């Protein structure tokens, strides 16, 4: 099981990728996502290009000396969502395709599979995998507070970065609250998969836990807001940045990565 502490611990490692400026890593991740999304929905060279980008990201993972077990587990935790979306595409007829080629297979309920749907579903799944890999690589090599500061310095909306900074600040707090609730339930022999009690009772206990976390979140948010007002929140001086500057190695990384993407797009 990968916890928030494990994820944040990975970002404190020392490697050439970790030492890059957070703004550079954030721009790189956004560039990869934009390139992947901009590729045609159905194209015979899509898979080759996407797999080449995925291979480049995996090389960066190795260069960052990340724990491969945690890295793969994080991807697998999100991948079922992409798989579920991709699996239904062969049974649909994409609106951007005029002529369909039916797959010679008899299915019940009047369902049919098209070659275009299979191609679109496969491309969609690989795109999802590449985007998730780039996001996991970014979060595994960049501290959460540095990521928020980088987004602010790049020019993201102030309200967006403020919400992110508050989430980062109290994410670990509520994770520990959730762990304490779980430990308390285990000491009382509560097991969600217990077949000796009714499902209605188990759902009710889960509802109690969710409501408890909600009430604690509300109370903590009210205390935090009052504390922020007492410390001058709203005066315009509540932002705090790291003092790092973009160096030659950061520019080289951006240029090299851009060159790799251009090479992949036009020569592979």
**What per-residue confidence (pLDDT) applies to 236?**
53
Any residues with CB less than 8 A from the CB of 39 and at least 6 apart, and which? 46, 49, 50, 123, 127
In a domain, 235, yes or no: no
**What per-residue confidence (pLDDT) applies to 166?**
75
Q: Do 206 and 252 have their domain in common?
A: no
In a domain, 89, yes or no: yes
Q: Do 27 and 126 have their domain in common?
A: yes
Find, among 25, 1, 258, the residue nearest to 141 by Cα: 25
- Give the separation between CA 268 and CA 262, rounded to whole angstroms: 10
Question: What's the structural domain count of the chain?
Answer: 2
**What per-residue confidence (pLDDT) applies to 170?**
75
In a domain, 126, yes or no: yes
Q: Do 135 and 186 have their domain in common?
A: no
**What per-residue confidence (pLDDT) applies to 152?**
83
In a domain, 217, yes or no: yes
- Residue 214 lies in domain: 158-230
Q: Do 199 and 258 have their domain in common?
A: no
In a domain, 191, yes or no: yes
Q: Do 44 and 18 have their domain in common?
A: yes
Q: Do 23 and 135 have their domain in common?
A: yes
Q: Do 65 and 100 have their domain in common?
A: yes
**Predicted confidence (pLDDT) per residue in 214-226, tens digit:** 887 778 778 877 8
In a domain, 53, yes or no: yes
**Predicted confidence (pLDDT) per residue in 97-144, tens digit:** 777 777 767 677 767 788 888 888 999 999 999 999 999 999 899 988
**What per-residue confidence (pLDDT) applies to 27?**
93
Residues of the chain with pLDDT under 50: 237
Q: Do 167 and 62 have their domain in common?
A: no
């Amino acid at each position: 099981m990968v916890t928030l502490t494990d994820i944040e611990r990975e970002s404190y490692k020392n490697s050439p990728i970790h030492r890059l400026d957070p703004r550079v890593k954030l721009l790189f991740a956004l560039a990869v996502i934009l390139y992947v999304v901009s590729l045609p929905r159905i194209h015979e060279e899509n898979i080759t290009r996407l797999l080449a980008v995925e291979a480049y990201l995996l090389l960066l993972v190795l260069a960052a000396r990340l724990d491969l077990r945690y890295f793969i587990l994080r991807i697998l935790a999100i991948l079922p969502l992409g798989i579920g979306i991709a699996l239904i595409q062969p049974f649909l007829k994409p609106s951007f395709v005029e002529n369909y080629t039916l797959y010679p297979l008899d299915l019940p309920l009047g369902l049919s599979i098209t070659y275009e749907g299979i191609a679109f579903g496969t491309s969609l799944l690989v795109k999802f995998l590449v985007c998730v890999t780039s996001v996991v690589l970014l979060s595994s090599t960049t501290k959460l507070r540095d990521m928020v500061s980088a987004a602010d310095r790049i020019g993201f909306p102030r309200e967006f970065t403020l919400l992110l900074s508050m989430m980062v600040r109290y994410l670990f707090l509520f994770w520990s609250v959730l762990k304490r609730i779980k430990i308390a339930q285990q000491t009382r022999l509560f097991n969600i998969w217990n077949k000796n009690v009714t499902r209605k009772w188990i759902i009710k206990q889960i509802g109690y836990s969710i409501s408890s976390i909600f009430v604690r979140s509300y109370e903590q948010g009210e205390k935090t807001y009052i504390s922020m007002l007492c410390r001058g929140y709203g005066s315009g001086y509540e932002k705090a940045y790291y003092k790092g500057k973009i160096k030659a190695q950061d520019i080289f990384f951006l240029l090299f990565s851009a060159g790799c993407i251009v090479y992949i797009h036009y020569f592979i």
